[in-house]
Amino acid sequence: MEHHQLEIGEAFFNEVARKRQESPGEVVMVIRRPSEKVLLLTKEFYPAGVYRLPSGMIRKGETPEEALVREAQEETSLPVKVNRRLGAIHFILKNGSRRTDFISYLLLTDETAGEPAPEDLQESISGFREVHPCDLPGIAAQLSNLPEPWRDWGRFRAAAHDSVHRELCSTGPASKSQDPGVYSR
């Protein structure tokens, strides 16, 4: 398990602390498409051009694998099969003297057919894109460098992209991608 410590602002700290009371953590969905690329999504309210790996909260009494299957259906409508856990990130988030812990489980799935489309329209998902896993450091860098009020969220989200890259591209070339596929709703 990786450990990350981040000093974050009050608003994002309060959001994560609230989620932590409701859930044992989240799943980060590494949905591998038949093209060997992974699926990213964007939401209507994200800054322009920002995509990330899908994620979702684990319900109490649910395993990360069960949460992944449920969340993948809600966010993408794609049939997925859990391949394996890539790892987990234990975040220690601080805001002054306050501290909260949060765990992100990184799970690799294989998807066999279909085009992504959100099933749960309340998620506000507005588009999908595919990238080769070896291109995830670029996504992480973009997330890490978002301006306020997205800065803390972006730094938090970037960690999973870097971890997935290390797990899936540790011995390959820096980038094997071509023109990434883009799907919009």
Residue-number span of the structural domain to which 83 is assigned: 2-133
pLDDT of residue 173: 42
Q: Are strands 98-111 and 26-32 parallel, antiparallel or unpaired?
A: parallel
The answer to whether residue 151 is domain-embedded is no
Give per-10-residue mean pLDDT for the chain (185 aa).
95 94 95 94 97 96 95 92 95 96 96 86 92 97 97 97 94 41 35
Residue 113: per-residue pLDDT: 77
Give me the CATH number covering residue 52.
3.90.79.10
Which structure tokens are listed for 94? 């601080």
Which helix (H) or strand (E) covers residue 55, if one does? strand 55-57
Residue 183 lies in a domain: no
Q: What one-character DSSP code corresponds to residue 152? A: H
Domain assignment present for 173: no
Within a domain: residue 160?
A: no
Per-residue pLDDT tens digits for 28-51: 999 999 889 999 999 999 999 999
181 inside domain: no
- Does 11 reside within a domain? yes
* pLDDT on residue 123: 87
Look at residue 155 and tell me if it is in a domain: no
Among 174, 77, 85, 100, CA closest to 135: 174
Specify if 77 maps to a domain. yes
Question: How many structural domains does the chain have?
Answer: 1
CA distance 20 to 92: 12
**Which pLDDT does position 171 carry in this prediction?**
58
Please give the Cα distance from 180 to 132 (Å, whole number): 8
